[in-house]
Amino acid sequence: MQNRIVIRYQDGRKLKGFTGDFIAGKEFFHITETVTSSDKPVEVRVSELKAVFFVKDLAGNAAYEEQKAFEPSKPVAGRKINVRFNDGEQIVGFTQGYKPGRAGFFLVPADSLSNNDRIYVVCSAAQEIKFL
């Protein structure tokens, strides 16, 4: 299965494409520009990343401002969490997998209208991670 992803490096670079071999905890995975790309996949080292965004649409909507609050009518499947990255970006969501000392964890955004289905946060790129 190919996942649509946007990867953001800690140095600010960004790549969009598809991956079929991302596994949490592995040191690297591959990304291609299209599902059927004949180009050689690019190897991505997780330690260089800020996060891997598993998205609904690669184009996204740059004008949309993601909400940082939970919808009262929707149940939360996990613990509410706030992540502030070293670059100042803040993401609010919920997780079932964050434990201090791990290299990363999955987070589901609080905003159900977000283009992000889920986000793999690389802990070394976070300035602060706290439960709400």
What is the distance between the alpha carbons of residues 53 and 120, in angstroms, rounded to a whole number? 6
What is the distance between the alpha carbons of residues 20 and 91, in angstroms, rounded to a whole number? 25
Each domain of the chain, given as residue ranges in start order, spans 3-55+66-131
Give the residues of the chain that fall short of pLDDT 50.
Answer: none
Q: What is the pLDDT of residue 24?
A: 95
Q: What is the pLDDT of residue 37?
A: 63
Task: Please write the tens of the pLDDT for every residue from 50-83.
Answer: 999 999 999 988 889 888 988 888 888 899 999 9
* Residue showing tokens 């791990």: 102
Q: What is the pLDDT of residue 126?
A: 98
pTM, rounded to two decimals: 0.94
